[in-house]
Structure 1
Amino acid sequence: MALINLRSLGVTLGAPLFSNLNLSVEPGDRLGIVAANGRGKSTLLRTVSGAFEPTSGDVTRARGLRIGHVEQNVPAGLLAASFYDAVLAALPAEQAESESWRVEIVLDSLDVPQDMRRRPLAHVSGGWQRLALLARVWVTEPDMLLLDEPTNHLDLARIGQLEDWLNALPRDVPVLICSHDRAFLDAVTNRTLFLRPENSQVFSLPYARARAALDEIDASEERRFQKDMKTAQQLRRQAAKLNNIGINSGSDLLVVKTRQLKQRAERLEEAARPAHQERSAGAVKLANRGTHAKVLVTLEDAPVATPDGTLLFRTGKLWIRQGDRVVLLGRNGTGKTRLVNMIRQAILSPEDAPAGVKATPSLVLGYGDQALADLADSDTPLGVVSRRFELGEQRARGLLAGVGINIDMQESPAGRLSGGQKARLGMLVLRLTNPNFYLLDEPTNHLDIDGQEALEAELLKHEASCLLVSHDRSFVRAVGDRFWLIDRKKLVEVEGPEEFFASVGDARA
């Protein structure tokens, strides 16, 4: 029996986000919702929960259905509360007074450490804040869960923990998940909705298999469209020939035949629909100016330490050659970002290079950090591009429009951009830098699946030399050709990432 029925559902906000969407959600469904940034995923969840009124169509909910909606951001009013109190506050006052034990059970199920439970939410990481929002919803015992980008800010261990938690839920509790994490969707879903302005597609398959099926449908529809348009062109050519003959001969029969051919062509053209072309949220492109150097970065047993001097690991003797795409693997807190910053310093300030780190003088660095710290919230996109690069205003505005930042946003503070827009702005800055070596720390944060795939394709197409840190397993598998692992205070080269991915899972068990 369906718990939710969507019939001819549509939402238009300036332009249609989706229309004529028909969908049933039944017990046991684990539905992944996929679309580009800004294409209606969060709006659909809010519509399902009842927080947003659709433009057209109906939402029917089973009587008494309790829906738990885990949104992306912590309400400002909760930031001063402790982790524990924020979850407790989700219960009705009487229940919070007599059944506070429910909070402990939920926090135990999410493996929240005791010391974490007393910290204010403002003082915990974005990943822990995300889990606090989940705990606040789950403690109310909903019949259905709606999760909006649940893996944002989570490291691999926490993503794996969330996968285990979701897969251990009672099977009759359906879950709707908006996510750009392809590996996560494959691990926790059994259905996939590709949300589109028209003709959204639903498959009873997890993401990767559903994507393959969708691509085949789109390819088939494109072949059919091209065939119909070719047939229509042939009919019009035949009609033109007959028309000329009819005019010259004065034959009424040929005039009628000409009209019939034209009508058939028009019917074909009216009925023909091109295959869906995803409207990009903004282009992701890179550049590679190249270098004659063979070895770009050399590590001579460099010590990597905390600011107070505590040794985290030693690098041993390793190097990065031209064309290498090195993935740095390691658990949170092992020093990945510290090493990235050491290499960055060696490139930008060779005279102050950390001991044991050497960069070839010809390197031009393209650096992107996970917080996009180089893009100040108070600056404007037009200001960022114009000041850093010798571009005319018209060229700068055209480039910004190309990455999905329209003219209305180009002179507004960058802090008003969405995460996806800010990520694409960061990628534009990288491209204009025209580097020959990339240091990328969590580059797929905030990028939708189209953006992730475009970034992968650009790194491969340009044979870009890079060192990258990422919790995105699909991205790591697609891009990396060398893998360094921080293990027991040593940096060692390993054959691939899978053993590390598995070890993170083993550690949770």
Structure 2
Amino acid sequence: MGMISLRNAGHRAGDLLFSNLNLVIAAGDHVGLVAPNGRGKSTLLRAMAGHVELSEGELTRSRGVTIGYVPQDIPADALAQTPAQFIASALDPVLLESESWRVDVVMEEFSIPLDLRERPLRAFSGGWQRMALLARAWVAQPDVLLMDEPTNHLDLGRIGALEQWLAYAARNMPVVIASHDRAFLDATTNRTLFLRPSEQVYLPLPYSAARAELDQIDAAAEAQRDRDLKQAQQLRKQAAKLTNIGINSGSDLLVVKSRQLRDRAEKIEAEVQDVHRDRTGLVRLGNSGAEARVMLAFENVPVTTPDDRLLFSIDKLHVFQGDRIVLLGRNGAGKSQFMRLLTEGLDGLVPAGLRISPQLVPGYLDQSLGWLPLDPSPLDYLLHRFDEGDRRTIALLAGAGFPPDRQSRPIRTLSLGQRARVALLALRLARPNFYLLDEPTNHLDIPGQEQLEADIREQGATTILVTHDRAFLRTIGTRYLLIDGRRLREVDDPEGFIASMTQGAD
């Protein structure tokens, strides 16, 4: 089995991403790699795969080890290839000539349908592109598996299948997974690396247990920091008192003693560690409030496809102020069409049978961020859409993690995570009392997900949500609506549906 070792490893890309990383990843280690967006997770995975060099320290791999690497996206120059061509490109040409059967076997293993195998990858959905990436990483039977956001674009059924596949196919090999999907990390990892600019934290626990331990570590570090700074302050006060006495009495000994106390204070202050905080560059949402008890009322409302085929009917449904409703259903059941119907209704195309409170002020966040313009800069976009003034808008963007030099760059040059922060900031400035969220966590890192959860829960805004993020829906939901048998019915909790999807039950 392969092994990866890092010694005093670090990387700078303008800013320091991480440093002082000392780690050995061996057989059976399934490591969850956790950090906010832009903090070096993908860089570290690419370095482990041999695609980039770290700027600090050493990274070594066992002699002859083969690496299976799953990036976030298919390279642009490979989108014209069929899945078979793309997967075969991972094999040595000599091996491919004698063992081309490997490609067919791995396509079967990842359930790539026959009717897709002759199509170019650009025609695939995001989920099937993810399956092609996984198959390409696996076709050479690697010794180590590295995965960058493997659940992106996957529904609950495919996420469950991937969890089961990792449990048997990669059980005894080293695996490193960078992911913002907390439930997936809990299901697939036994170790967690919290990647930080300075001191790294590596714990032999899956994410949730490791996060609880990390919170205790950070709390202890903050308490120790406060004690150290208080001691330094007391030393400085003693030094000042001795200086005054020494000057008034003419005692050189007291002046020397005073200098020694100041030196001790400076040494303590220099050694004090800043308490690490992941919650930077976050956007706080609010709730403009409403007096209405019922925000939405449905009665005999059909939900159809764009060509008017019935998907399901809503016999009777009241959405009360403060409800946080999670919509559940298999792919194709009609979740997206329900969200489309509701979006159009809130925009003025109200279908028969739907009543909307005149006090409702909607706010949207969808997975594609398709409504977000790409040509203007974040500063120009927000200035033209909202009447907040230059100074406040600049300050809001800075608080959302955009230094002045990034505020004036076109939105198209930003990462998807940065675009999501611009979208959240626009959502905040719209001052809604009703949130319509379609896969809102797709581009949010874990701190961003937790902030969004906290804001929605604490502010009490009415919410309707579609998501494949199990941790998010469990935290947010107060009501669960299941599309089942062409009807919409309320269920007590989401667990039965989640189990049916992730365990492959019908």
Deviation, 1:151, is 0.8
Q: Secondary structure at the match of 1:507?
A: coil
Is 2:312–2:487's contact at 8 Å kept on the other side of the alignment? yes
Provide the rounded CA distance (Å) in 2 between the counterparts of 1:344 and 1:279.
31
The Cα RMSD (Å) is 1.8
Kindly provide the amino acid, as one letter, of the partner of residue 227 in structure 1.
R
Aligned to 1:398: 395
Q: Is the 8 A contact 1:375 1:384 kept in 2?
A: no
Supply the distance in 1 between the matched residues of 2:65 and 2:75 (Cα, whole angstroms): 24
Deviation at 1:427, TM superposition (A): 0.5
**Aligned pairs (5 A) from 1:173-212:** 173-212=173-212
Shift of 1:339: 1.0
Q: Partner residue of 2:143?
A: 143
- Give the distance between the partners of 1:203 and 1:316, measured in 2 at CA: 50
8 Å contact kept, 2:72–2:149? yes
Distance 2:95 2:258 in 1: 79
CA–CA separation in structure 2 for the residues paired with 1:265 and 1:381: 44
Within-5 A mapping of 1:146-185: 146-185=146-185
Q: Which residue of 2 aligns with 1:414?
A: 411
CA deviations on 1:97-142 (whole Å, 9 max, x unpaired) are 3322212221222222222323321111111101101101110111
Q: Partners in 1 of 2:195 and 2:501 — Cα distance?
A: 32
Structure 1 range deviating more: 117-126 or 178-187:
117-126
DSSP 3-state at the match of 2:407? coil
Give, in angstroms, the shift of residue 174 of structure 1.
Answer: 0.9
Q: Residue 504 of structure 2 corresponds to which residue in structure 1? A: 507
Q: Which residue does the alignment assign to 1:321?
A: 320
Matched, 1:304 2:298: no
Alignment partner, residue 245 of structure 2: 245
1:481 matches 2:478: yes
> Is this contact kept in 2: 1:110–1:165, CA < 8 A?
no
Shift of 1:220: 0.7
**Match for 1:343: what amino acid?**
L
Worse overlay, 201-210 or 1-10: 1-10
Residue type of the partner of 1:283?
L
The answer to whether the aligner puts 1:375 opposite 2:372 as a matched pair is yes
Change (3 A) 1:260 1:414: closer
Residue number among 428, 431, 451 corresponding to 1:431 in the alignment: 428
Tell me how far 1:377 sits from its aligned partner: 2.8
For the 8 Å contact 1:161–1:508, the answer to whether it is kept is: no
When the two structures are superposed, what TM-score results if normalisation uses the length of structure 2?
0.96
Which position in structure 1 is the counterpart of 2:491?
Answer: 494
Q: Distance in 2 between matches of 1:271 and 1:396?
A: 37
Q: 1:93 to 1:249 in 2, by over 3 A?
A: closer
Q: Which moved more, 1:441-450 or 1:305-314?
A: 305-314
TM-score, normalised by the number of residues in structure 1: 0.95
C-alpha displacement at 1:466, in angstroms?
0.9
Identity of aligned residues (%): 53
- Residue 458 (structure 2) pairs with residue 461 (structure 1): yes
Return the alpha-carbon distance in structure 1 between the equivalents of residues 228 and 406 of structure 2.
41
Aligned-partner Cα distance in 2 for 1:374–1:409: 21
The 1:252–1:484 alpha-carbon spacing in structure 2 relative to 1, beyond 3 Å, is same
Give distance in 2, aligned partners of 1:440 and 1:483: 14
What is residue 236 of structure 2 aligned with on the other side? 236
Unaligned runs of 5+ in 2: none
| Alpha-carbon offset, residue 271 of structure 1 | 2.4
Query: CA–CA distance in 1 between the matches of 2:74 and 2:402?
Result: 26
Deviations 1:50-101 (A, max 9, x none): 2111112111111101111111111122212222332233323343333222
- Farther-moved stretch of structure 1 (463-472 vs 165-174): 165-174
Amino acid at match of 1:156: L
Of 499-508 and 250-259, the range deviating more from structure 2? 250-259
**8 A Cα contact 2:366 2:437, kept in partner:** yes
Distance in structure 2 (CA, Å) of the matches to 1:506 and 1:174? 24
Residue number in structure 2 paired with 1:107: 107
Distance 1:62 1:99 in 2: 25
CA contact (8 A) 1:283 1:403 kept: yes
1:370 and 1:272 map into 2 onto residues whose CA distance is 42
- For residue 444 of structure 1, the aligned residue among 427, 441, 445 is 441
The alpha-carbon deviation at position 479 of structure 1 amounts to: 1.0
Give runs of aligned pairs for residues 98-137 of structure 1, distance below 5 A. Answer: 98-137=98-137
In structure 2, distance between residues paired with 1:324 and 1:172: 45
Deviates more, 1:458-467 or 1:169-178: 169-178
User: What letter corresponds to residue 395 of structure 2 in structure 1?
Assistant: G
CA contact (8 A) 2:303 2:312 kept: yes
Question: Contact (CA 8 Å) 2:161, 2:503: kept in 1 or not?
Answer: no
1:3 offset after TM fit, Å? 1.2
| Contact 1:43 1:52 (8 Å CA) reproduced | yes
* Aligned-residue offset at 1:170: 4.1
Secondary structure of the corresponding residue to residue 439 of structure 1: strand
Equivalences, count = 506
User: Residues 379 and 237 of structure 1: is their aligned pair in 2 closer, same or farther, counting only changes over 3 Å?
Assistant: closer
Letter in 1 for 2:80: A
Which deviates the most, 233-242 or 171-180?
233-242
CA positional deviation for 1:370: 1.1
C-alpha change, 1:386 and 1:260, in structure 2 (3 Å) is: closer
CA distance in 1, matches of 2:325, 2:150: 27
Are the equivalent residues in 2 in contact too, given 1:109–1:165 (CA < 8 A)?
Answer: no
Q: State the SS of the aligned residue for 1:211.
A: helix
In structure 2, the CA distance between the partners of 1:126 and 1:240, relative to structure 1 (3 Å rule), is: same
Going from structure 1 to structure 2, the CA distance change for 1:255 and 1:413 (only over 3 Å counts) comes to: closer
The one-letter code sitting in structure 1 at the alignment partner of 2:285 is L
Deviation at 1:364, TM superposition (A): 1.2
Counterpart-to-counterpart distance in 2, 1:403 and 1:229: 29
The 3-state SS of whatever aligns with 1:315 is strand
Q: Shift of the alpha carbon at 1:411?
A: 3.7
C-alpha distance in 2 between matches for 1:170 and 1:447: 27
Q: Structure 1 stretches of 5 or more lacking a match?
A: none
Correspondences of 1:206-285 after superposition (within 5 Å):
206-278=206-278, 280=280, 282-285=281-284
Distance 1:104 1:116 in 2: 13
SS in 2 for 1:307: coil
Instruction: Give yes or no for contact 2:158–2:502 (8 Å, CA) kept in 1.
Output: no
Contact preservation (8 Å) 1:2, 1:24: no
Higher deviation after alignment, 165-174 or 88-97: 88-97
The superposition leaves residues 301-353 of structure 1 with CA deviations (integer Å, 9 ceiling, x where unpaired) of 2111111221111112111111111111111111112111212222221xx31
Q: Which residue of 2 aligns with 1:346?
A: 345
CA 1:144/1:251 → structure 2, altered by over 3 Å: closer, same or farther?
Answer: same
Q: Structure 2 CA distance, aligned partners of 1:116 and 1:228? A: 63
- Give the conservation status (yes or no) of the 8 Å contact 2:363–2:427: yes
Which is worse superposed, 419-428 or 303-312?
303-312
